[in-house]
Amino acid sequence: MPMSSEDSPSERMLTNVRCLQTMFQISMPQQKQSSPVYHARRSHKKSRKGCLTCKERRVKCDEQKPYCQQCQRRSISCRFLSKTSPSREICVDKKPGSSDMNITLFPPPSESVTKRIEETLILDPKWNHFVLRNQDYARSISTVAFQHFINCSTETVAHPAIRDVMKTDMIRVSFSNSHLMYTVLGVGMMHLNRMSPLKERTFAESLFWQHAIQKYQEALFMPVRKDSVDGLLSTCMLMGSMTVCPERFVPTDSWVLTKRPKDLNWLCLQSGLRLILSLTAPYLPGSIWAAAFNEVSKEECQLHDQRTQQGRVGLDPDLADVCEIDNSTTERNSLYYAPLRTLTTLMGLEKNSRNSALCASFMGRLECSFLTLLKARDPPALIILAHWMGLMCLLSQWQPWVEGRIRAECVAICMFLEQSADSRMRRLLRFPAGSCGYGLDKI
């Protein structure tokens, strides 16, 4: 709906930013192979110049640069200490073999920064008890997670305006908001664990997320104040990454096959930012996110506001038929119309890094009424979602988090809808099934 010139800045921002879904590009590890036959380990000289990833995993590094063979074989990030400065570390946040590398030099957090992290967390009695019992471990693991978030996790955020705020103002805000600090640590540790799984860090990741969720829930029950807005918005944006990057997710874990509607909560959470935006609307113009949100909203408007508002022109005929869309259909008389029009727009974009971020925003644009259809496993709603998931599978080289859940969810929907007697449904499954790697049974 067009806005009048009398709309306030906060109303314009709230209307335009219908969705701002920030996703971290997390490279998922390869499937584990069966346990190898044990062989006695040969004696060898300890590597003093090996990469930090091998050091964390406690394996021998061949010191080959820019990628050692251990990291090449596992397609994980490879980090070496810089020769020019022993206090600076090189973080390579691309898979070995990629055409481009993103190398960031950064110093480890100073003692003052580490102390501030502890002071922020120690406000929580539960964390205080953990620190007292495991003081050295708690300090080091918090520092590792914090450092990885700032210097590696944030570097994977596609939109530069959002990335810049995350690396600067948001970090400053985290030192006065324990729920945001816990979330920052949770994302940093999750990102590190998915790239380079290590059993010792799994407990820390769970602990960070547990406290982040608890403290965030407490903050949501408090009155919204000007000084709480930035923490609430930042935490909400980061929380979405947790739900799309679970460990060892398989198709049979999907709500479509478990028949448990609550298993779709991961998708419902992606549209939570709209609620937070409505709650914080009066204070948005003064937020650290104001300029970045406005920039994103302009891009969203340019992409979606020009789409056809009525009828089936431009839509896939089979999709339009399955959703019962005719020439008089609009989003007011069909719950399928807006998601299908949005999907059609996204499917027509050139496949590149920037557009992959726009495609990821589809999750946050879904209305509660459409999510209700998905929970009920409504076939037309499921086939729309499956086509979006298939599109994201094709974009996974720019959005590797797809391998965490989206590909498996797409397979699950294909398995469920494959049993349909509707011949149109089987034709419509060809694209998502082919994109996610599911082989349809031939009839």
Mean pLDDT of 281-299: 91
* C-alpha 320: how far from chain center: 30
Model confidence band, residue 278 (pLDDT cutoffs 50, 70, 90): confident
Question: Does residue 2 register a pLDDT over 80?
Answer: no
Question: Does residue 81 register a pLDDT over 60?
Answer: no
Mean pLDDT of 87-91: 37
Quick one: 228 and 334 in the same domain?
Answer: no
Distance CA 380, CA 329 (A): 15
Write a three-state SS string for the chain.
CCCCCCCCHHHHHHHHCCCCCCCCCCCCCCCCCCCCCCCCCCCCCCCCCCCHHHHHHCCCCCCCCCCCHHHHHHCCCEEEECCCCCCCEEEECCCCCCCCCCEEEECCCCHHHHHHHHHHHCCCHHHHHHHHHCHHHHHHHHHHHHHHHHHHHHHHCCCHHHHHHHHCHHHHHHCCCHHHHHHHHHHHHHHHHHHCCCHHHHHHHHHHHHHHHHHHHHHHCCCCCCCCHHHHHHHHHHHHHHHHCCCCCCHHHCHHHHCCHHHHHHHHHHHHHHHHHHHCHHHHHHCCCHHHHHHHHHHHHHHHCCCCCCCCCCCCHHHHHHCCCCCCCCCCCCCCHHHHHHHHHHHCCCCCHHHHHHHHCHHHHCCHHHHHHHHCCCHHHHHHHHHHHHHHHHCCCCCHHHHCCHHHHHHHHHHHHCCCCCHHHHHHCHHHHHHHCCCCCCC
30-39, 74-83, 386-395: the lowest-pLDDT one: 30-39
The percentage of residues in the chain with a pLDDT greater than 70, rounded to a whole number, is 71
Out of 195, 214, 247, pick the residue that ends a domain. 247
Highest mean pLDDT among 118-132, 317-331, 388-402: 317-331
Number of domains in the chain: 2
163-172, 306-315, 336-345, 423-432: the lowest-pLDDT one: 306-315
Question: Does residue 254 register a pLDDT over 90?
Answer: yes
User: Going by DSSP bridges, is the β-strand pair 78-81/89-92 parallel, antiparallel, or unpaired?
Assistant: antiparallel
The pLDDT of residue 35 is 40
Task: Let me know if residue 24 belongs to a domain.
Answer: no
Distance CA 152, CA 24 (A): 10
Which residue's structure tokens are 């005719």? 326
Task: Let me know if residue 318 belongs to a domain.
Answer: yes
Question: What b-and-e string marks burial along 216-236, b requiring 16 or more CB atoms within 10 Å of the CB?
Answer: beebbeeebeeebbbbbbbbb
Q: How many residues does the chain have?
A: 443
The pLDDT of residue 329 is 96
Task: Let me know if residue 238 belongs to a domain.
Answer: yes
Highest mean pLDDT among 19-23, 154-158, 366-370: 366-370
Question: Does residue 428 register a pLDDT over 90?
Answer: yes
The pLDDT of residue 186 is 93
Model confidence band, residue 22 (pLDDT cutoffs 50, 70, 90): very low
The pLDDT of residue 319 is 96
User: Cα dist. 422→13, 119, 379, 388, 426 in Å?
Assistant: 43, 60, 10, 20, 7
Cβ of 62: how many Cβ atoms within 10 Å? Answer: 14
Question: Does residue 430 register a pLDDT over 50?
Answer: yes
Model confidence band, residue 105 (pLDDT cutoffs 50, 70, 90): very low
Quick one: 216 and 327 in the same domain?
Answer: no
Task: Let me know if residue 402 belongs to a domain.
Answer: yes
Mean pLDDT of 263-271: 86
Task: Let me know if residue 44 belongs to a domain.
Answer: no
Model confidence band, residue 62 (pLDDT cutoffs 50, 70, 90): confident
Name the residue type at position 438: Y
Question: Does residue 390 register a pLDDT over 80?
Answer: yes
CA neighbor of 154 nearest in space, from 137, 168, 174: 168
Question: 119: burial class by Cβ within 10 Å (0-12, 13-18, 19+)?
Answer: exposed
Q: Identify whether the C-beta of residue 395 lies closer than 8 Å to the C-beta of residue 363.
A: no
Model confidence band, residue 328 (pLDDT cutoffs 50, 70, 90): very high
Highest mean pLDDT among 69-83, 89-103, 125-139, 404-418: 404-418
Q: What is the mean pLDDT of the chain?
A: 78
67-71, 228-232, 260-264, 347-351: the lowest-pLDDT one: 67-71
Mean pLDDT of 131-141: 55
Give the tokens for residue 178.
Answer: 């324990």
Distance CA 420, CA 212 (A): 42
Out of 247, 270, 299, pick the residue that ends a domain. 247
Give the tokens for residue 343.
Answer: 């999907």
The pLDDT of residue 41 is 42
193-202, 379-388, 394-403: the lowest-pLDDT one: 193-202
Give the tokens for residue 422.
Answer: 């509707």
Task: Let me know if residue 123 belongs to a domain.
Answer: yes
The percentage of residues in the chain with a pLDDT greater than 90, rounded to a whole number, is 40
Quick one: 331 and 234 in the same domain?
Answer: no
Q: What is the pLDDT of residues 340-356, one digit of tens each?
A: 999 999 999 999 888 88
Quick one: 145 and 222 in the same domain?
Answer: yes
Task: Let me know if residue 173 belongs to a domain.
Answer: yes
Distance CA 17, CA 329 (A): 25
Out of 227, 247, 267, pick the residue that ends a domain. 247
The pLDDT of residue 24 is 52
Find the domain containing 421 and state its range: 310-436
The pLDDT of residue 276 is 87
Give the tokens for residue 163.
Answer: 């990335």
Name the residue type at position 101: M
Task: Let me know if residue 231 belongs to a domain.
Answer: yes
Question: Does residue 289 register a pLDDT over 50?
Answer: yes
Quick one: 233 and 333 in the same domain?
Answer: no
Mean pLDDT of 214-243: 91
Quick one: 338 and 217 in the same domain?
Answer: no
The pLDDT of residue 335 is 97
Between 409 and 243, the higher pLDDT residue: 409
The pLDDT of residue 77 is 59
Q: What is the pLDDT of residues 404-421, one digit of tens each?
A: 899 999 999 999 999 898
Quick one: 239 and 340 in the same domain?
Answer: no
